[in-house]
Amino acid sequence: MPRTVHVNIHELFQASPVVRLADSGKNCLKHGSLQGRIALVTGASAGIGLAIAKTLAQKGVTVIACARNTDTLLALNRDGEIPKGTKIHVIKTDLTKEQEVLALYKEIAAQHGKLDILINNAGMGGKGTLLDGDFEEWKNLVDLNILALTLSTREAVKLIDGKSTNGHIINVNSIVGHRVPNMPSAHFYTGTKHMVTALTEGLRKTLQSKNIRVTSVSPGAVETEFAERALGKDPEASAMVKAYFAKAKALEAQDIADAVVYALSVPAHVNIDELTITPTQQVTL
């Protein structure tokens, strides 16, 4: 049975024998360097995806970032937010369109010849309950949260060299992929994230013989625009989220990016199956 590791993100980076904070304030990893690896980050235009793309680039990873809106990503290269000599390669992609996903991977193959890391971060939330939800919204959730992730993974595996020890697929999941919150407007979204949990575990078992590691990263409350965008039409749920952020310290997108770096950097014989990360003060959903 896979082992689930529940961690507090701040304790992880202060106490872990694998990770220490250098005097400069930057993370110093004792194990595998990420320098020179090639990574695709989906949904990279904002929030967690943007933080992951920037952090990996700062670690010397060749980052390919895709999103429907690429303005923010293009600005990173112009504004000097990543180290000199590195660049985030930006490809505008709608992951719910099969042909665009296939074209994305065709371009990656042509430009880079391979892929080492896939970060399946793209996702969306929903606003309706199971009794009054909109059918088109449900379809959109399935298309992006499940089908796009699965299609992208299928194509990525074709480009990952199983003879290397660098192959790694990370699915940005959610704590609601492991439990059901007392928030009716989030229940369909919760269902899609439970599917991500099942797909991640199935993929890990499928790829064991191919030397490709698979990790689920499941954040709790993260202060990004995601929650507000997802719950904007549900006043009660939106008020609940705002009240939480007002009284408790939520996770930041950078916390999740640091967790991704940790999972990528442990020794090759170690697979972090699951990282469930919550704010210290989050005890309920």
The residues annotated with a catalytic role in the active site are 189
Considering just the CA atoms, what is the radius of gyration of the chain in Å?
18
Amino acid sitting at position 46 = A
| CA 12, chain centre distance (Å) | 18
**Phi and psi for 10 in degrees, rounded to 5?**
-70, -40
Name the residue with tokens 């999941």.
173
Q: Show the tokens assigned to 93.
A: 């992609």
DSSP 179: S
Beta bridge partners of 172: 217
DSSP 266: S
Distance CA 60, CA 43 (A): 20
Q: Show the tokens assigned to 218.
A: 């499941």
Q: Show the tokens assigned to 271.
A: 């697979």
Distance CA 124, CA 137 (A): 10
Q: Are strands 117-120 and 168-172 parallel, antiparallel or unpaired?
A: parallel
Decide: residue 78, CB within 10 A, 0-12 exposed, 13-18 middle, 19+ buried.
Answer: exposed
Distance CA 263, CA 272 (A): 6
Q: Yes or no: say if 68 and 140 are a contact pair by the CB < 8 Å rule.
A: no
